Amino acid sequence: MKPFCPIPSKDGLPYIIAHRGLSVKFPENTLISFEKAANVLGVDMIELDVRLTKDGEVVVIHDHTLQRTTTGNGFVRNYLLREIKQLDAGSWFHPSFSDQRIPTLEEVLRLVGHKVWIDIELKSDFFCRKRNGILERKVLDIVQKCSMNNRVLFSSFDHDMLINIKKMQPEARVGILYNFPFDFGKTPSELAKKVDACVFVCSKREITYEMVRDAHKSSIAVYVYTLNSISSVKRVMEYGVDGIMSDNADEILNVIRQEKITFVKN
């Protein structure tokens, strides 16, 4: 697969990014959700979230607690990997997915990394921070082990983590997530410069035409989450965004193809 390029070619379409896999149809952040997304022709990238277990293993889960998406309870950081692996991560979605488990980052990269690019969002706990750089180092080591260095984007709301990533691996591609309470009033180009990011990421409620124009003036790509409706996709495409994150990436992709919307570059 070709190396990750932050800004798509001028074919009229933004990248289609499967947010936690095909998470409308399958339990989020599970192997089946990622595999199904990777097998959809036209899906360019998969977005996932990573945290550390008690024994320092990198697992793929969004929340800092287990109860929403597994049969477990409490903080992810308080469980060993072998304990995490005993939890059912699919029945909350539907009983037919009771065999799904919380995957490790390495498991996901080995399963779908040869088919699509991966956006690895590094999570941090505000009130219980890990020793500086530990998650970043472990994630970089796994990406290196799986030979995925040129096919990964590292992103985070915690901008210090992105600074650490760039210090540890200067050639890494990073995407800065717009953190409204802290970043309000700052332009995408200002924020991106702070961490040497090539991608600016924000929500559909935050995106403006001015943001996109500012980012593009500095050759920074703009990705938007989480777009699950036809109207929201049309609106952000008119702004000229470079990537669309969706829980139902396959259906959004079909909408874009059928509507033949012109992707306006600024």
What is the set of domains in the chain, with CATH numbers? 15-259 (3.20.20.190)
Q: Are 134 and 122 in contact (CB under 8 A)?
A: no
Encode pLDDT of 197-228 as tens digits.
999 999 999 999 999 999 999 999 999 999 99
Q: How many CB atoms lie within 10 A of CB 191?
A: 21
Residue 19 designated active-site? yes
* Residue 130: band (very low, low, confident or very high) from pLDDT cuts 50, 70, 90: low
Q: Tens of pLDDT along 235-250?
A: 998 899 999 999 999 9
Task: Assess whether 62 carries a catalytic annotation.
Answer: yes
The structure's pTM equals 0.95
Q: Which of 17, 40, 21 shows the shortest CA–CA distance to 29?
A: 21
Strand 45-52 to 58-60 pairing = antiparallel
Question: Residues of the chain with pLDDT > 70: what percent?
Answer: 93
Which phi and psi (to 5°) does residue 209 adopt? -60, -40
